[in-house]
Amino acid sequence: MPNSNKINFNNKFYITTPVYYVNASPHIGHTYTTVAADVLARYHRMIGDKTFFLTGADEHGAKIEEVARAAGKEPQEFTDEVAASFQLAWGELNISNDNFIRTSNPEHKKAVQKALQFMYDKGDIYLGKYESLYCKGCEQYLSEKDLVGGLCPDHKIKPEMMSEESYMFKLSKYQEELLAKIKSDELEILPIERKNEVVSFYENGGLNDISFSRKNVKWGVQLPWDKKHTAYVWADAFLNYLTGLDWNGSINASLVKGVGGIKNEKSTNLRYSRGNIDFWPADVQLMSKDILRVHATIWPAMLLSLNLPLPKTLFIHGYFLIDGQKMSKSLGNVITPGDLVKKYGVDGARYLIVSATTFGHDGNIGWDKFDEKYNADLANGLGNLAARSVALAVKMEKSKIKNKNDNLKLKIKQSWNRYQGALEDFRIDAGINIINNEIKYLDGYITENKPWELIKNEDERVGAVMYNILERIRHIALMAYPFMPDTAEKIYESLGLGMIEKVKFEEAIKWGGLEVGINVKKSNSLFPRI
């Protein structure tokens, strides 16, 4: 494939987001990861890769139990409600996830029990005693080094000293093997700064055995060999990446090899149910830096313990601040996906969120910036371009729109190469820039060629000029599809074409896909100005 040196998806693509804690409803941070994953999933489906996109809810642990009780509800009832609010939000944002995994799902729990039993039988889990500082907010043990002024830096609360009988996971056993795999990029961590952080963590102190069970937490997965204990919430949560593919906890030969039985066929719109585990290993797991450390230590160590292949890439995107501040209920600056959709529409919200920052770097967002970008890129950019071009074409006799070969054809090929290279390297923002440059270029072409004058003067050049404009818009719509699927489909429709979802990619990106004599139809304004 063009312009990229590390594409090795074998025509299958498995992408995950973290399972989000259901102690609160979805906010813009969760939305960012989910929309970014959706863009990549839609892109891979569009190019014909057999694709599986997983997201879900992380429902166990002391904190969630506490929040549920405070709300006067049983944990199950409470998590049912919050998990539903996540599903609703993703539905509203047109997220194309193939499954929504909930860790309180009985099948998930059974698989977790089976997996932990396997690790226990192998001797990787043993009974010990654990004593450490524990932050209830993080659901994680912290070391003195992690604290700032004696407090958890994320939750600003004092961690408690905990000492208890606990089953321990022999994490230390996997130190050398994991470090080697991370250094060699067998387990790739992107961007490179994040890989360096992980490597230096391994090299300075590295992995110690960790507590893998809790005696005093009832809301969790019971250890099958000792029912007084429930599984450490992260151990339970990580396995979602496998149970989300309907894995039942058995370690079979094809899974161990990670070859899978995925056939190379177009997957658009399929919802899989059987044999999904063949999608493992994940091609990319998206998350932000808050949970990189555990994903680069405990998670791959569990996989090694289970004799399973590691994910190919962990991609760590940046963390959002709202107008320079951490998002929090007490500051009252939480932005929800619903707020965005209400103001900017579904595709406006999707676009604004994924274009807010360079993918992989922290970013500052806020309503003013969103308004500005919406008007510049969508109302005055794509929306205006599509509307004025279609309006001109509608005025013309359709038989006069002619495909004449010229150098625009070459240019579009270069843009596609760059666009594919960007998305296949997870440079989502670079993909967006290519689309916006295409829009600017076409705006310039229109200003230069003045098709309205050509129409008025019945100039014969108008046929080719209008063809170029409309064909170019068709390409822009295709490129925009992973980001703004509905808008892209509407543009395709107004060009008298069928659904993008059904196109054959290699054909669709050739110059000349727009038929001569097409029936161009006006559509409603795509992005009304704010």
Closest by CA position to 481, among listed 100, 96, 97: 96
Give, as ranges, the residues between 308 and 327 that touch ligand MSP (CB under 6 A).
Answer: 319-320, 327
Task: Tell me the angle at which helices 337-354 and 28-46 cross, rounded to the nearest 10 degrees.
Answer: 50
30 is catalytic: yes
Give, as ranges, the residues between 407 and 426 that touch ligand MSP (CB under 6 A).
Answer: none
Catalytic residue among 108, 109, 138, 475, which?
138
155 is catalytic: yes
Q: Is 203 exposed, middle or buried (0-12, 13-18, 19+ CB in 10 A)?
A: exposed
Backbone angles phi, psi at 121, to 5 degrees: -60, -30
Question: Residue 41 is encoded by which pair of tokens?
Answer: 């999933």
263 is catalytic: no
Which residue, 29 or 338, has its beta carbon nearer to ligand MSP? 29
Q: How far is the CB of 37 from ligand MSP (least distance, A)?
A: 9
Which residue, 284 or 465, has its beta carbon nearer to ligand MSP? 284
Whether the upstream peptide bond of residue 451 has omega within 30° of 0, thus cis, is no
Identify the residue among 12, 13, 15, 33 touching ligand MSP (CB under 6 A).
Answer: 33
Q: How far is the CB of 320 from ligand MSP (least distance, A)?
A: 4
Q: Are 51 and 90 in contact (CB under 8 A)?
A: no
Q: How far is the CB of 359 from ligand MSP (least distance, A)?
A: 11
329 is catalytic: yes
Q: Is 1 exposed, middle or buried (0-12, 13-18, 19+ CB in 10 A)?
A: exposed
Which residue, 29 or 275, has its beta carbon nearer to ligand MSP? 29
Identify the residue among 12, 14, 18, 488 touching ligand MSP (CB under 6 A).
Answer: 18
Identify the residue among 14, 20, 351, 374 touching ligand MSP (CB under 6 A).
Answer: 20
Sign of CA dihedral 133, 139, 145, 151: negative
456 is catalytic: no
135 is catalytic: yes
Q: DSSP code of 325?
A: B
CA-to-CA dists, residue 23 to 106, 219, 320, angstroms: 20, 13, 19
Catalytic residue among 156, 158, 228, 326, which?
326
Q: How far is the CB of 313 from ligand MSP (least distance, A)?
A: 15
Q: Which helix (H) or strand (E) holds 284?
A: strand 284-288
Strand order in the sheet with 226-231: 213-214, 226-231, 222-223
Q: How far is the CB of 291 from ligand MSP (least distance, A)?
A: 5
Q: How far is the CB of 525 from ligand MSP (least distance, A)?
A: 31
Q: Is 19 in the site for ligand MSP (CB under 6 A)?
A: yes
Catalytic residue among 12, 50, 152, 312, which?
152
> How many residues at the interface with ligand MSP, by CB under 6 A?
19
Q: Kindly write out the interface string for residues 273-292 of this chain, putting x where it contacts ligand MSP by CB under 6 A and - elsewhere.
A: --------------xx-xx-
138 is catalytic: yes
d(CA 320, CA 364): 6
- 528: helix, strand or coil: coil
Q: How far is the CB of 237 from ligand MSP (least distance, A)?
A: 4
Which residue, 285 or 389, has its beta carbon nearer to ligand MSP? 285
Question: Residue 10 is encoded by which pair of tokens?
Answer: 């074998």
Q: Is 29 in the site for ligand MSP (CB under 6 A)?
A: yes
Residue recorded with tokens 């709202």 = 322
Q: Which residue is nearest to ligand MSP (CB)?
A: 29
Sign of CA dihedral 362, 364, 367, 371: negative
Q: Is 356 in the site for ligand MSP (CB under 6 A)?
A: no
Among the candidate windows 24-32, 161-169, 191-199, 462-470, which touches ligand MSP by CB under 6 A?
24-32
3-state helix/strand/coil string of 451-504: HHHHHHCCCCCHHHHHHHHHHHHHHHHHHHCCCCHHHHHHHHHHCCCCCHHHCC
Catalytic residue among 12, 30, 170, 475, which?
30
Q: Is 209 exposed, middle or buried (0-12, 13-18, 19+ CB in 10 A)?
A: middle
d(CA 130, CA 164): 5
Q: Are 500 and 368 in contact (CB under 8 A)?
A: no
Identify the residue among 12, 13, 14, 21 touching ligand MSP (CB under 6 A).
Answer: 21
Q: Kindly write out the interface string for residues 204-243 of this chain, putting x where it contacts ligand MSP by CB under 6 A and - elsewhere.
A: ---------------------------------xx-x---
Among the candidate windows 13-21, 350-358, 382-390, 411-419, which touches ligand MSP by CB under 6 A?
13-21
Among the candidate windows 16-24, 70-78, 376-384, 439-447, which touches ligand MSP by CB under 6 A?
16-24
Binding residues for ligand MSP, rule: CB under 6 A, are 18-21, 29-30, 32-33, 58, 237-238, 240, 287-288, 290-291, 319-320, 327
Residues catalogued as catalytic: 27, 30, 135, 138, 152, 155, 326, 329
